[in-house]
Amino acid sequence: MNAKNLNILLWIAVTFWLVMMLNSLTSPGQIEPRNLSYSQFLQELSDGSVKEVTIQDQTIKGVRSDGSRFETYDPGDPGLVGDLLKNSVTIRAKPPEEQSVLMQIVAAWLPFVVLAGVWIWFMRRNAGGGGSGGIFNFGKSRARQHAEGEVKVTLRDVAGVEEAKEEVGELVDFLKNPQKFSNLGGRIPRGVLMVGPPGTGKTLLARAIAGEAKVPFFSISGSDFVEMFVGVGASRVRDLFEQAKKSAPCIIFIDEIDAVGRKRGAGLGGGHDEREQTLNQLLVEMDGFQGNEGIIVIAATNRADVLDPALLRPGRFDRQVVVGLPDLAGRAAILEVHMRKVPIATDVDARTIARGTPGFSGADLANLVNEAALFAARAGRTDVSMDMFEKAKDKIMMGAERRSIVMSESEKKLTAYHEAGHAIVGRLVPEHDPVHKVSIIPRGRALGVTLFLPERDRYSMSKRQLESQISSLFGGRLAEEMIFGPEQVTTGASNDIERATDIARNMVTRFGLSDGMGPLAYAEDEGEVFLGRSVTQQRQVSPETAQAIDKEVRVIIDRNYQRSKRLLDENMDKLHTMAEALLKFETITKEQIEDIMEGRAMREPEDDAGSSTPKTGGGNGAAKGGATAKQPPIPIGGV
């Protein structure tokens, strides 16, 4: 008997017992008798008011001469019967009431039934509750099944990942027309692994495949397989594939598969690992003796480097589809998809917004549209204008404004020179991203920021670009030192120094961009996938080499520090002018910065610039080093 039937029987028993109790306690159609004390009963008896009585158990029910009824308690008075006969009262006696056999059974077993029901409910809740996770289904799969045609998302709703859509497009063709491939001896891939940064649309793409092919779709998270009890994960894997076989052709989607598919043999002590047993069962189901024809496994992860090699071999996950960050055209397409649900003003251009959001993922762009709609709602508008998108972009990149912070004049002046130093050095060094905005309005955790926005998508960085970035990072600290003296330098440049040091060290140890150390990798091992680096870290360089690396990092830092200082010395008048403009307007844009750098009279900022353009920096969002991935906009500075 399953849990559902047991619940039904339990409710039937409780209902039956309540009905019987109500029937036994009430007598429909009768007037409730008035309760009397025994002394009152004796008084009425002596007055001759009592006509007849009925004695049953220890209860006396009677009728008065006027026809009214009463009831009292019989204390076992031995002279009562004599008094009744003396006053000519009709006496009736009834035997004690006996419960029916059914009522006796119900009364005897009802407590046990109630306790059993409470215990089952409690165990179901602890075991995960619901129809798929109770005590009776503990080893059952927790996958959520979407029936054929239930998934409404199609490939038309996916934008910005055209190459990935082409890769998985033939999966849709196979599910719709498998004969087309089997006639030529072709075999559809058993599994497709989607790899990419968070928020790029891996899950959405899997749902679109199921929606396009109109086949059953099973979705589950990798963490849903693993429990504290040994063997449960493997049992759930078996049950998942058993359900999928009954619905083939179908799709199984495992989100965050790295939760269960990490490399085996990395645990301490050599003991049995429940995670490994679950992975072993998954490997068998995907490509074992029993073929699972018509079942396509799609998995998503942003940590493909930690997955077990046996999981990635052909026959299991035959393909790895890279779902990367969208380019300019992809961002514009994604924005257009999300703008369908929002009333857009005529001045909004998706491509212009996409040009100003390099490095944004699909999830970031969806959040951008939502934030813009919220700004428009707060402003009482009926549509979302371009200005709302600019405000939303500033909030996402730099954080919300913190105008409640009251800064002293000396702090505002120091912040203004700090941010002006970043902007001037970044504007003058070669191949640096153009400065977009400079602000001294506190946002997030920073008191001010300088935002450099790339003009185009960037996939790699040259040595010159990295050194220019180091120079601009030191511009804020040097401006403080040159204007206020070494004793007045603040801690606001701590993040700038940290980022500059990381870039220089990566140039030496990872990117091979050091003249002194040459094109060798000196970065240390990142350790086992399950263990902390402190446990497994092994030093790959000798003490002498480590000392040489430190010396080379110092050479790079010193070279760019001196270049930044020289540029500020040569442009001291522009530094003062820009700082004064920041103190006056709080936020200046690239147009005003160009006016200052070209020696022209600075145009007045727009009225809305002060509230929408300030950038909160502190360097919290900058990309480190010259990574090969696309780089997000780099906010610098903040004190």
CA dist., res. 127 & res. 119, Å (int): 12
Are the CB atoms for 384 and 344 separated by under 8 Å? yes
Say what the pLDDT of residue 622 is: 33
Q: Which two tokens stand for residue 147?
A: 């029936």
Whole-model pTM?
0.66
* Structural domain boundaries in the chain: 144-322, 328-398, 409-636
The pLDDT assigned to 98 comes to 61
Q: How many C-beta neighbours within 10 Å does residue 572 have?
A: 13
Residues in the chain: 639
H or E element in which residue 565 lies:
helix 543-570
Measured between alpha carbons, how far is 182 from 518 in angstroms, rounded to an integer? 53
How buried is residue 307: exposed, middle or buried, by Cβ count under 10 Å (0-12/13-18/19+)?
buried
Q: Which of 344, 337, 351, 333 is nearest to 376 (CA)?
A: 344
Cα–Cα distance for residue pair 148/210, rounded to 1 Å: 8
Written as six digits, the tokens of 520 are 């060798």
**pLDDT the model gives residue 184:** 79
Cα distance between residue 148 and residue 146, in whole Å: 7
Nearest to 488 by CA among 425, 554, 413: 413
Q: Residue 34 is encoded by which pair of tokens? A: 């008035």
Q: Which H/E stretch holds residue 204?
A: helix 202-213
> Mapping DSSP to helix (H, G, I), strand (E, B) and coil, where does residue 120 land?
helix
CA angle 374, 378, 384 (to 5 degrees): 55
Q: Is domain 144-322 annotated with CATH 3.40.50.720?
A: no
Instruction: Give helix 232-246 / helix 274-286 axis angle, nearest 10°.
Output: 20
CATH architecture for residues 328-398:
Orthogonal Bundle (1.10)
Q: Which residues form the catalytic set?
A: 419
In degrees, rounded to 5, the angle at the alpha carbon of residue 53 between the alpha carbons of residues 47 and 59 is: 110
Residue segments in the chain with a per-residue pLDDT below the cut of 50:
25-30, 128-136, 138, 268-271, 525, 527-537, 608-634, 637, 639
In this structure, what DSSP letter does residue 150 have? Answer: T
What is the per-residue pLDDT for 368? 92
Report residue 483 CA to chain centroid gap: 46
Q: Which amino acid is at 149?
A: G
Other Cβ atoms within 10 Å of 196 Cβ, number? 22
- DSSP lists the bridge partners of residue 35 as 71
Q: How far is CA 126 from the centre of its chain?
A: 23
Q: What is the pLDDT of residues 428-468, one digit of tens each?
A: 999 888 888 888 887 766 777 888 878 777 778 889 999 99
**62 - beta bridge partners?**
53, 70
Cβ contact 614:428 at 8 Å: no
Q: In whole angstroms, what is the distance from residue 298 CA to residue 320 CA?
A: 10
Burial degree of 327 (CB within 10 A; 0-12, 13-18, 19+): middle
Beta carbons of 191 and 297 less than 8 angstroms apart: yes
- Cβ contact 245:295 at 8 Å: yes
Cβ(432)–Cβ(457) under 8 Å? no
What dotted CATH number matches 409-636? 1.20.58.760
